[in-house]
Amino acid sequence: MSEGAVTLAASTRRRGVGRRVDRAFGILTAASGSLVLLVLAYMVLTTTNTALPVFRAEGISFVTGSEWLPSRGVFGILPFIYGTLVTSAIALVIAVPISVGLSLYLTEVAPAWLRGPVGYAVDLLAAVPSVVYGLWGVFVLLPLFLQPIAEALGSAFGFLPIFAPPASGISYFGAGVVLGIMIIPIISALAREVFRAVPADDRYAAYALGATRWEMIWGAVIPRSRAGLVGAVMLGLGRALGETIAVALLVGSRPSISASVLQPGYSMAAVIANQFQEADAPQIRALVGVGVVLFAITILINMAARLLVWRMVAER
């Protein structure tokens, strides 16, 4: 390290090993990064390949057929697709108003000292594992709330096909309610970010024009947040579509399609979890096929949500 005694070129030559280490490290990191892509690709390939026989045997009636009779080798998964969509829709109906209202409250109305604790409490909902949600849903929420409300809806509005009796808490409705509770923290956390991103000047402008607080929210905050809110809701939807255990315990495990949400039903994720352990090879292949369809739907929703959220962040 003394001046001039050793030329730079000579020192560089002596560093030979070091430079190879540098290059190797770079390659190592790139390989690790590529692992993500490889795993994803491999996932898609193997599952689709496994389910191919079922897809070929059933053709399009795999997704359009409503008969799921494993003992006879008939595999139509429409009831599961239907149940997934219905339970997720119920979840959104419950979670979106609550999450948006909650997030608006936390960002616009709540005093500063209240924001932390309330936000933290809601985020705790995200920490609860889904099997615990399922257990609690079956033994607490069901007798306390789901069953009574379902019966009340059935008797009061039973003339509507959507609430036709016999009403049960173990139904699309029951699963949908618990699902809704589970996605509240996801939608709310993102909605809070979206609302916080609205520039303060927009709010001041509304107030300066004499708006009440609600008018300010409606006129200044909400219009600016539309894209981000849609993204947040879609991310919550993506989570609801894939949720397995809580739904498996509460949806009723009946592979049929029913117009009434107060009836038992099934979902794609739930049927995989419930039937896997007893299934024989052909049925397992069919269940893999269910998984592939579920994956496709979830991925599409997630990609669309990501693009929306990325665009909103980029425009900030």
Binding to another protein, residues 262-291 (CB under 8 A): 269, 272-273, 276-277, 287-288, 291
The Cα-based distances of 13 to 18, 24, 245 in angstroms read: 10, 18, 61
Check residue 116 for interaction with another protein (CB under 8 A).
no
Answer yes or no whether residue 140 interacts with another protein by CB under 8 A.
yes
Query: Are 164 and 158 in contact, with CB atoms under 8 Å apart?
Result: yes
> Closer to another protein at the Cβ: 106 or 260?
106
CB of 123 to another protein, least distance (A): 9
Question: How far apart are alpha carbons 1 and 100 in whole angstroms?
Answer: 64
Q: Contact between 105 and another protein (CB under 8 A)?
A: yes
Contact pattern from residue 144 through residue 173 relative to another protein, giving x for each residue in contact according to CB under 8 A and a dash for the rest? x-----------------------------
Residue of 153, 241, 251, 312 that binds another protein (CB under 8 A): 241
Q: Which residues pair with 16 in a beta bridge?
A: none
* Shortest separation between residue 164's beta carbon and another protein, angstroms: 26
- Identify the H or E element spanning 311: helix 281-315
Give the whole-angstrom CA distance, residue 250 versus residue 266.
9
Q: Which of residues 6-25 bind another protein (CB under 8 A)?
A: 7-9, 11-13, 15, 18-19, 21-22, 25
Residue 231 binds to another protein (criterion: CB under 8 A): no
| CB nearer to another protein: pick between 260 and 270 | 270
Of the pair 241, 260, the CB lying nearest another protein is at: 241
101 binds another protein (CB under 8 A): yes
β partners of residue 69: 74
Interaction mask 173-212, another protein, x per CB under 8 A: --------x--x---x---------------------x-x
- Quote the tokens at residue 28: 């190592």
102 contributes a contact to another protein by CB under 8 A: yes
3-state DSSP of 246-291: HHHHHCCCCCCCCCCCCCCCCCHHHHHHHHHHHCCHHHHHHHHHHH
Among residues 175, 157, 174, 173, the alpha carbon closest in space to that of 165 is found at 157
